[in-house]
Amino acid sequence: MTKTRLTAAERSEEVLQAAVVAFGANGYAGTKTDEIARLAGVSQPYVIRLFGTKQQLFLATTNRVCDQIESAFRRAADREATLASLGESYNELMPERELLVVLLHGFAASSDPAIGETVRERFGRIHKTVGELTGATPEEVTRFMATGMLLTVMAAMQVTGKNPIACEWATELLSSLGNPDED
């Protein structure tokens, strides 16, 4: 457990992973840089120096999360280019509940101009990517995104993911997602 010295890039990567967890749990305004630092095992000022600003760290975290979501969709489309296939990749994403939830916190922090701009751009990109990957109709893509938002919100409410909070409506709702009348 001796202090392992890493390059700035490597350490930034670790901090970014910690940031996903921390921001996912408490959102942009609700997360202190000190908590991220503790999760990453470094000092709080160093976190700031690596990313310049809490805001920039959040933007980096958001972009990283969106990259991961998109690449998960790409991998799924690689196996089978259907909405159903991409939908299954949600389950692949779910275990790390934070991924989706960080995005939700980005939406919530949209009143900050820089965050709003980033988040709109990334959401639009995901929307476009899903359409291109599957060749589905706009209506189908929109419904897919809608379902995704519902799952994201439920993840934020902690009724999905590992050890979810018990909730009758949640289980009922999830089961009614399993059998859509078509697809």
Partner DNA sequence: CCTTGTTGTTATCGACTGATAACTAGCGTC
Partner DNA sequence: GACGCTAGTTATCAGTCGATAACAACAAGG
Binding positions for its own copies, rule: CB under 8 A: 25-30, 104-105, 107-111, 116, 119-120, 123-124, 127-128, 137-139, 141-143, 145-147, 149-150, 152-153, 156-159, 165, 167-170, 172-173, 175-177, 179-181
Cα separation, 79 vs 86, in Å, equals 9
Answer for which of 1, 4, 163, 172 binds DNA (CB under 7 A) is 4
Q: Quick one: tokens of 171?
A: 């289980």
Q: Which residues contact 101 (CB under 8 A, 6 or more apart)?
A: 24, 25, 152, 155, 156
Total residues contacting DNA by CB under 7 A comes to 24
Residue 61 in the binding site for DNA (CB under 7 A): no
Please report whether residue 62 would count as binding DNA according to CB under 7 A: no
Which of the listed partners (DNA, its own copies, none) does 34 bind, with a CB threshold of 5 to 8 Å by partner kind? Answer: DNA
Query: C-alpha 176: how far from its chain's center?
Result: 23
If one asks whether residue 1 binds DNA (CB under 7 A), the answer comes out as no
Interface with DNA, residue 42, by CB under 7 A: yes
Partner touching 17 among its own copies, DNA, none, CB below 5 to 8 Å by kind? none
CA distance 111 to 81: 35
Give the residue carrying structure tokens 């972009």: 63
Give the Å distances, CA to CA, from 72 to 24, 68, 82, 109: 18, 6, 13, 24
Residues making contact with DNA (CB under 7 A) = 3-9, 11, 31-34, 41-46, 48-49, 52-55
